[in-house]
Chain A
Amino acid sequence: MIYKSSYFKKELRQAYIENKISLRKQFFLGLFMGLVAIAVHFMLQTMIKSVFGERMPHLMQQSYFTTLYTFTFISLFLYLLYFIFLYDTLSFTEIRKNRWYLLVKMGYNPISMIFAKLSALFYSMIIIYTTGFAVTMLMTAFLKYNFFYLYIPALYLVGLLDFLVLGIVILTASLFFKQRNMCRYFALFAYVIIIALRYASGYQKIVSNRVLMQDFYVLFRFDRCIYLPVIAAIVFACLVICFLKAGDIAKYYSVSYENYADFLPENAQLVTRDDNTGRIRSLITPDLSARRSKIFDMVATASLALVVCLAVAFNIFVILISTSQPGKEVTIRGTIPYIFVSETMQPTIMENDLAYFRRIDPYENVNVGDIVLFKDENTVYIERVVTIEDDKYIVDIDYYPPAAQKGAMIKTVDREDIYGIYKGASRWLGALILFANTIFGRFVFLFVPVLMLFYYKQAKMIFISLLEATSDDG
């Protein structure tokens, strides 16, 4: 076998697990992203009749637009994870490890290496994204949604641009961060900023509108939205910084005084003296960036612990609500929470809302207009009090579906059967509970927290070893 490597090929092979050039691996990554997007689409479909359906119709519809839009979002997040895991091989960290020193000595030009690195990044990015996009389209075809192609080019471009800006921002940041964990946190921060920028600039409104997206050029109408000029400026600035800064770092051999610590005699200090002031400064000081990274790690761990605790508490709440039975409802500080699974009290209580009822005693006043929780023949109903006649309460629902006979749900209830008065409802909490009851929700709110609670150390070790395995320290 004749070995003929170029820096571009070296970059490509570094970017993938096992360090082998393989288009197949890039295709598999794209396939994985596409399948995850479809799985998320299925999960979202279970929540159509919730607040999500109203607030995010672009994620809930049964259309190519929805699946592809979901893919653009999911793939960006997965690409972020991919970058975090393969940070050492994808970023400019190798310059700090003096790997470019050797190549520069062997006649490689740093500028062409920077160009090759960026080209390799964009090349792999396009392959992964395009594969994932195509897989999502193919899977959507199996769902027999109506095929409508006009918004597809615009959606393709939207996702690819996000990939581009995220990739280049992380790559540029890697030139400034000495601690890789800090840069990993920065990557997460950059991802959040990109999403925030989408919302703040109004870009999100455009890309989530399937009618607008049918016009490919809508993205380029900068009077409507300045997101694209902003990210174009960011990408351009990052490219300039990459060429200048990376070229500059490549001029130096990177060496740290920390390496000397092992060779110092006991009770000795390595210092330098300023000729002008005569001040003596220690050269081996605790690395500030390492300390900052440690603080970030602590904050991240504490946040994770908080999230786990909240998830566990929420899951207990969901289980309590799910196990509520007529007459044996769970009461939390005098409040009965109920998942309302009907349209009958629209618009006050929507389907799948979490409604709260104040538990009342048999002597408390119930007025006309109150929505009440009552028991009739061992079945629990929620209806509104219409009139009160001789200690008898006439109740009815607010909304009859078009085919239903009006007045069919009018009931006469004794006071002692009424045990709760409507206090309010939470649409988002209701949707969250609905999500928690899906398989994916059980996984997120139950399986993962339990795993983290009991196997936190092992999970952390696996995570760290995964991160270490992807770094190539020589």
Chain B
Amino acid sequence: MLINNSFQQKDFTKVVSMQNLSSNEMIIANEDLPRSVLHNINLEIMKGEVWGISGRSVLETKLLLEIMANIKPYKNGKCVLLERGMMRLKRFILPHVFYIGTTSMIYNNMNVLEFLMFATGHKTFDVIRQQDRVFEQLISLGLGNVSLTPISTLTPEYKVLILLLTAYYSTSQLIVLNMQNLEFSDEHIIPIRNISNLIQNEDKTLVFSSFDSDMIESVCTHTAVLVDGTVAYSGDIRNFCKTYDRVVLTVRYHNPEELMSVLQNQLPQFNYSVGAGNSLIIKDYKSDNPNLHLIYKKIAEAGFTPERIIINRKNYKNACEEVIRRYDLQKQLL
């Protein structure tokens, strides 16, 4: 940690607490009655957690994070950040929140190291030592290749990485990254994970919105899924994947419909659906430990020779789809 602040020494466990929060902004679609973009939002985020907010609508996730960072006011409910209540209508920059919502806040006329020194070094007397630390940290985070690159030549994704690192150097306890329109590849996700580890080690909290399942799965400890302006799920990401990803096997076969009809008769305890690329997706809603051997045996006995059988590792994407599916189902029933 490069900058110390007495503020950090206070022990706040709950970083964000939203209770029955609804937004000022409403949406009217197809001549329906207006509904709040966000309503009945209940969310609790603790110190040292990394949250990925996902969902079906960019509008909802973007607005939620803006309210969380006190960029936008909210209408009803309660929002407490680090045990300090936020005024509903005022939207000052809060000292304990670092919000990244655009790459235009970075200075293009510097290189990466220079910018980080500009941002962090103005109160440091030992500039040489400070620069050594920053430079070494860039290398250790996997950003050594861009450390002397002019910022103007960086992609927006790399700029976000630099901003995230700057946020880590700040005294803010809560870092909010609201850039879901960017596409992060592996070369970005690895440094993001490294930075998020640093943030966690400092007992700070990172909340970001993303529609990239791989990124959320790779970086986050917790997640929240927004559907139709409300939180459909919030909590631990492992538990989320375990609970909601019910896919057990994906079988590739040239005629998945035929395979499905056979298996439906023989193994009715499973749920079957045809997926993309001639694949049969087999889900198990009844057991957490399905008998995969039995499925394989039945396929072989029926004389099918699948091109590929993939055992599903519980993943975020499937879980997210499942949560949304259940939400829609529940909504239809109501």
- Tell me the nearest residue of chain B to A267, going by C-beta: B30
* Per-residue A-contact encoding for B242-258, CB less than 8 Å = 1, 0 else: 00000000000000000
**Is residue A252 within 8 Å, beta carbon to beta carbon, of the partner chain?**
yes
B29 contact from A5, A7, A265, A474, Cβ within 8 A: A265
Check B71 against A99 for contact (C-beta < 8 Å): no
Give A102 to B57 CA distance when docked, in angstroms. 28
* Interface presence of A205 (CB below 8 A): no
**A99 & B27 in contact (Cβ 8 Å cutoff):** no
Chain A interface residue number, banded: 35 or more
1/0 per position for B274-314, CB-CB distance to A under 8 A? Answer: 00000000000000000000000000000000000000000
A283 CA to B169 CA, complexed, in Å:
36
Instruction: Check A263/B58 contact, CB under 8 A, given A4-B121, A108-B122, A472-B108.
Output: yes
Question: In the complex where A253-B101, A263-B58 touch, is A2 in contact with B120 (Cβ < 8 A)?
Answer: no
Contact A252 B91 (CB under 8 A): yes
Find the B residue at minimum CB distance from A16.
B109
Q: B203: shortest Cβ distance to chain A, in Å?
A: 18
A270 adjacent to B25 (CB under 8 Å): yes
- Could you tell me if A5 and B121 are in contact, using CB atoms closer than 8 angstroms? yes
A106 to chain B, nearest CB (A): 5
* Residue pair A271, B122 in contact (C-beta under 8 Å): no
Complex Cα distance A268/B99, Å? 28
Interface residues of A in 99-114 (CB under 8 A from B): 99, 101-108
Query: Contacting B119 at CB < 8 Å: which of A103, A263, A267, A268?
Result: A103
Question: Bound complex: CA of A259 vs CA of B72, how far in Å?
Answer: 13
Number of interface residues of B (CB under 8 A): 54
The answer to whether B119 touches A99 (Cβ under 8 A) is no
Residues of A within 8 A of B40 (CB): none
The CA of A7 and the CA of B110, in the complex, are separated in Å by 13
Q: Are A474 and B28 in contact (CB under 8 A)?
A: no
**A103 proximity list for chain B (CB < 8 A):** 119
CA distance A3 to B34 in the complex (A): 53
Q: Do the beta carbons of A2 and B62 come within 8 Å of each other? A: no
Q: Would you call A13 and B121 a contact (CB within 8 A)? A: no
B42 CB within 8 Å of chain A: no
In the complex, residue of chain B having the shortest beta-carbon distance to the beta carbon of A19: B109
Complex alpha-carbon distance, A104 and B171, angstroms: 11
| CB-nearest residue of chain A to B57 | A263
The reply to whether the CB of B113 lies closer than 8 angstroms to some CB of chain A is: yes
| Interface assignment of A251: CB less than 8 Å from any CB of chain B | yes
Say yes or no: B98 contacts A3, CB within 8 Å. Answer: no
Taking CB as reference atom, which chain B residue is nearest A275? B75
Can you give 8 contacting A-B residue pairs, CB < 8 Å?
Answer: A5-B117, A103-B119, A107-B171, A253-B93, A255-B101, A270-B25, A474-B103, A474-B108
Please give the residue numbers on chain B whose beta carbons come within 8 Å of chain A beta carbons, in ascending order. Answer: 3, 24-30, 34, 37, 57-59, 62-63, 66, 69, 71-72, 91-93, 98-99, 101-110, 113-114, 117-123, 127-128, 131, 159, 163, 166-167, 169-172
